Structure 1
Amino acid sequence: MRKEEVFELVKGCICEVLPELNDHQFQYDDRLVDLGADSVDRAEIVMKTMEALSLNIPRVELSGVKNIGELADALYAKL
């Protein structure tokens, strides 16, 4: 799987949790909190994405990511 595919998967999970963002033009530097995701939404997005990638990593390892591009990069690095 390519890094771009992981980013697309993250975007899909964001839209599942926050359907009002279906028409949003996602950028790598978009921050989930700026998109309206609260802490529960953010945890659900990360969980759904990890499940889709069959990853089981401690979420604390992802605590330093600042935006969805960094989230995709961090998840891609664990594949």
Structure 2
Amino acid sequence: MSKEHVFETVKNVVMEILPDVEAEQITMDKSLRDLGANSIDRMEVVTMSMEELGLKIPLMSFANVSNIEGLVDVLAENYAAVSEGNTM
């Protein structure tokens, strides 16, 4: 799965959780906090994105994520590992 597909998935989840955010506001360099997400919103974005992508990733994997690009990278890397048959 491409990084662009993962980004689109995350973007759709963000718009679902934060209905006041427009699609064009969601860019790779923004953080969820920049978009007005509180800690519960941020956790929902992570867990719903994993569900949409069919992933189970330890939440600690996201500890150093500071923006949407970091979130997309963690999701895409783990998706690639799962699709290659590696277990995590």
TM-score by length of 1: 0.94
Whether 2:37 is the aligned partner of 1:34: answer: no
How much does 1:68 deviate?
Answer: 0.3
Aligned-CA RMSD value: 1.0
The aligned runs of 1:5-44 (5 Å cut-off) are 5-44=5-44
**Where in structure 1 are there 5+ consecutive unaligned residues?**
none
How much does 1:26 deviate?
Answer: 1.9
- Counterparts of 1:50 and 1:42 in 2: how far apart (Å)? 13
**Where in structure 2 are there 5+ consecutive unaligned residues?**
80-88
2:43 counterpart letter in structure 1:
A
Corresponding position of 2:71: 71
Asked if the contact 2:17/2:41 (under 8 Å) is kept, the reply is yes
1:40 counterpart letter in structure 2:
I
Deviations 1:23-42 (A, max 9, x none): 44322110111110000000
- Classify 1:63/1:21 alpha carbon distance in 2 versus 1 (closer, same or farther; 3 Å): same
TM-score by length of 2: 0.85
User: Whose Rg is larger?
Assistant: 2
- Counterparts of 1:31 and 1:20 in 2: how far apart (Å)? 16
2:51 counterpart letter in structure 1:
E
Q: Percent identity of the aligned residues? A: 44
Whether 2:62 is the aligned partner of 1:62: answer: yes
